[in-house]
Amino acid sequence: MRLGYIGRRGIYDVVRRIAFEVGLFERGDVTVVDAGFRERGEVVLHCGDYRCVATELFTSIPRVLGGGKLGVDLGASKNGLAYVWRGTPLLHAVLDWGAVEKILKGIDGVEVHIGSSPYVDVKKATSLLGCGEVRLVDELSASWSRRWLRDKYPELEEDEIDALSFTYHDGVRASLCGNKHP
């Protein structure tokens, strides 16, 4: 699976910080296009900053591909995310809560794997998914794969490694429905 990018070099540099493998000025299995260019692509970016591009990619690419797994490592100030499709990691990012909130509200048909520990309020994140199912992954169990992932992907930050490790664990299925009172 390869992403292609057509557009300005400055935005490509941002996309490259988020996507595992992306080719500049080429079409891929999924092509990301800068809205300033008159080209067709599956994902069109109307912004160029890291936060906005990450939000667009994490909500658009799963929709285009249909499914996949989203790993979420919730933290106090920053949160790691990783998107895996058919076993291949495609996206990774460290974002603030506002961006994570937009992503969780904007995804559909994706398995969401959230790290669970006594220090994390997973209910806050799962409530954004409505009555969708989530997989709660014990962070201690998932930590055994960190070393292998760190060696394989040395460019990732610790929060991204954690999020990616969650996608490789089944976890416990949970459906936490929000209040539906009139």
Mean pLDDT of all residues in 167-182: 69
Mean pLDDT of 137-163: 92
Helix spans in the chain (H): 9-18, 50-65, 97-106, 122-126, 139-142, 146-152, 158-167
3-class state of residue 32 by DSSP: strand
* Residue 126: band (very low, low, confident or very high) from pLDDT cuts 50, 70, 90: confident
Predicted TM-score (pTM) of the model is 0.91
The CATH number corresponding to 3-175 among 3.40.1350, 3.30.420, 3.30.450, 2.40.50 equals 3.30.420
Share of the chain above pLDDT 90, in %: 68
Residue 78 is encoded by which pair of tokens?
């920053």
Average of pLDDT values for 110-139?
Answer: 80
Task: Identify the pLDDT of residue 62.
Answer: 96
What per-residue confidence (pLDDT) applies to 172? 82
Give φ, ψ of 21 to 5 degrees. -145, 115
Q: What is the DSSP string of 94-130?
A: EE-HHHHHHHHHH--S-EEEEEE-TT--HHHHHGGGT
The ranges assigned to domains in the chain are 3-175
How do residues 94-122 score in pLDDT, each as one tens digit?
999 999 999 998 888 899 999 987 777 77
What backbone phi and psi angles, to 5 degrees, belong to 163?
-60, -40
Closest CA to 30 of 70, 63, 71: 63
Say whether pLDDT at 181 is over 50: no
